Amino acid sequence: MALSNTEIASFFEKLADLLEIQDANPFRIRAYRNAARVIAGYPHSVADQAAAGADLNELPGIGSAIAEKIHTLVDTGRLPALDEAAKTTPSTLTELMELPGLGPKRVKQLYQELGIKSTAELAQAAREDRLASLEGFGAKLQAQLLETLRQRADRQRRTRLDVAEDRARPLLKHFAAVRGVRQVIVAGSYRRRQETVGDLDILVNCRRDTPVMEALRAFPGIESVASQGETRATVFLSGGLQVDVRVIAESAFGAALHYFTGSKAHNVAIRRMAVAACLKLNEYGVFRDGQQVAGRTEEEIFAAIDLPWIPPELRENTGEIEAARHTCLPQLIRVEDLRGDLHSHTVATDGHATLAAMAEAARTRGYQYLAITDHSQQVRVAGGLDPERLSRHIDAIKRYNETEPGIRVLASCEVDILEDGRLDVPNALLQRLDVVVAAVHSQLRLPRRRQMDRLRRAMDHPRVHILAHPTGRLIGERDPIDIDLEQLLIAARERGVCMEINAQPARLDLKDNHCRLAKEMGVRLVISSDAHSTTDLAKIRFGIDQARRGWIEPQDVLNTRPLSQFLQALQR
């Protein structure tokens, strides 16, 4: 099986880590890290391009030497340079470098003097008081490492964006109520709307005498305080989520917001532009000859290097700087651009609200239409509708539309795709549906060829309009089904089938880079909430976040269109 872009990138990241431990040439290390970042964010399969003999030098930041290594890795599954580096430095040491307080030199020292090669061995040595006597360590660092390892064991997985949002909201409200606080913003991957976050970076702008740290300690959700100073603190919320709070002066708030929002790769590229313009840029502002020339707002930061403001969701150094330089940044989609929602459930199957309640909630949101997509019979665990029940359900939707003006409820069904690609609803009933949403819920471990044949056959059916949650993944719980995503998008484009961006925070399927690839390929998209309750309809915003990270604009999404235009465009 071809290596994924993520797998290829991990080889180069690990190589860079090992070389850093070995005090190798920093330019080599930087080149490998840059290659890993480019490969991980590249929307096409690097392995497929290498196998086809494509010139990989055309990838940004990939020189001939690294391109040759990629070809070797794709052909053999091994990276000789990594194997060579691992002969003298165990690859497990790279995990130690992720711990605060342990850089390459200390990791090398731990390995050479104590033979420590893993976090488990480090924890054991700390418990046995063997770190305190090492030069440059001491009892304090030993205790900190032991506590970090304990907390790390409790928080192995990153926090899903919706969960992080739920934890951040009361904390932001708590700070906003403090007299003297002017602005409170969560930066980092949270602001870039990544699907998971490692921690919360909270920036506070306030009057000089505002008791921010006292207010933080008073927040009832704090489990422990790792560190605290006058303008910075690190705490852990109950449940283990780390929160870093920084008090920022008004004159530097924009600079700090840009810096702590990231990504690191974006920031590095922006700083290089500043240097080229004879400026110094850091989290305190933009400086020329020691004098601050910008820093209050992010707009000032970008303007100082002749760029327009770049939306946080795009800041991954995957082309957004070049687009800004040429004034061709995408006009990203917003929640208010949507005219309807095309995936929702009622009490007829596994939903928690009636048809009428869901429709009224959608109307309140300003929608013109809502597709009710209760499950077909194959999904027994959800109480899927057999043909007779589905027929009655369609009748109920038709009656509702005759008596309740203000919103059009579309008769639909989340039709299960069977193992052989057939649909779980008779053709006669498919013809009665306004929208057919097809999905895979079973046989998720089929080999790639069979899974692809299954999906192609399903999309061959002329009544299939939308493929729901196309990869079937559940974030942090279930890997995606084994498919060639690019080939799936080609098949969808050829057949006129829409790909769904499922907004459920556990799914966010398609992924952001898949959204961008679909846009580039001209594949039609819809954004749907997959709501199972009236409040779930609001989760559509997570799908919007995902689409924005994928450079999606309103015209790329069918359900930004008014009802008549949408129904016309939906036809294959």
Statement to judge: residues 60 and 111 lie in one domain: yes
Mean pLDDT, rounded, for 118-127? 88
For 148-178, what is each residue's pLDDT tens digit?
Answer: 887 666 555 688 999 899 889 999 999 999 9
Statement to judge: residues 237 and 346 lie in one domain: no
Peptide bond into 238 cis (omega under 30): no
Q: What is the 3-state secondary structure (H, E, C) of 234-270?
A: EEEECCCCEEEEEECCHHHHHHHHHHHHCCHHHHHHH
pLDDT (0 to 100) of residue 152: 67
Statement to judge: residues 257 and 164 lie in one domain: no
pLDDT tier at 85, thresholds 50, 70, 90: confident
Statement to judge: residues 232 and 95 lie in one domain: no
Domain enclosing residue 394, as ranges = 335-570
Q: What CATH code is carried by the domain that includes residue 295?
A: 3.30.210.10
pTM of this prediction? 0.75
Does residue 563 have a pLDDT over 80? yes
Structural domain includes residue 431: yes
Does residue 204 have a pLDDT over 90? yes
Measured CA to CA, the distance from residue 441 to residue 453 in angstroms comes to 16
Among candidate residues 94, 128, 154, the one where a domain is terminated: 154
Statement to judge: residues 233 and 365 lie in one domain: no
Does residue 545 have a pLDDT over 60? yes
Structural domain includes residue 354: yes
In the chain, what's the furthest Cα-to-Cα distance? 81
Measured CA to CA, the distance from residue 340 to residue 369 in angstroms comes to 5
Structural domain includes residue 458: yes
Kindly tell me the number of DSSP H helices and DSSP E strands found in the chain.
Answer: 24, 17
Statement to judge: residues 99 and 167 lie in one domain: no
For 260-314, what is each residue's pLDDT tens digit?
Answer: 999 999 999 999 999 999 999 999 999 999 999 999 999 999 999 999 999 999 9
Task: Please give the distance of CA 419 from its chain centroid, rounded to a whole number.
Answer: 30
Residue of 393, 375, 347, 342 whose CA lies nearest to 537: 342
Statement to judge: residues 256 and 243 lie in one domain: no
Statement to judge: residues 308 and 368 lie in one domain: no
Structural domain includes residue 395: yes
Statement to judge: residues 145 and 168 lie in one domain: no
Residue of 368, 301, 377 whose CA lies nearest to 341: 368
Does residue 571 have a pLDDT over 90? no
For 419-446, what is each residue's pLDDT tens digit?
Answer: 999 999 999 999 999 999 999 999 998 9
How many domains does one find in the chain? 4
Does residue 250 have a pLDDT over 60? yes
Among candidate residues 215, 247, 279, the one where a domain is terminated: 247
Statement to judge: residues 273 and 301 lie in one domain: yes
Joined tokens for residue 479: 């890997």
Structural domain includes residue 403: yes
Among candidate residues 215, 232, 247, the one where a domain is terminated: 247
pLDDT averaged over every residue in the chain: 92
Structural domain includes residue 330: no
Residue of 302, 301, 280, 300 whose CA lies nearest to 290: 280
pLDDT tier at 327, thresholds 50, 70, 90: very high
Element (H, E) at 500: strand 498-502
Q: What CATH code is carried by the domain that includes residue 369?
A: 3.20.20.140
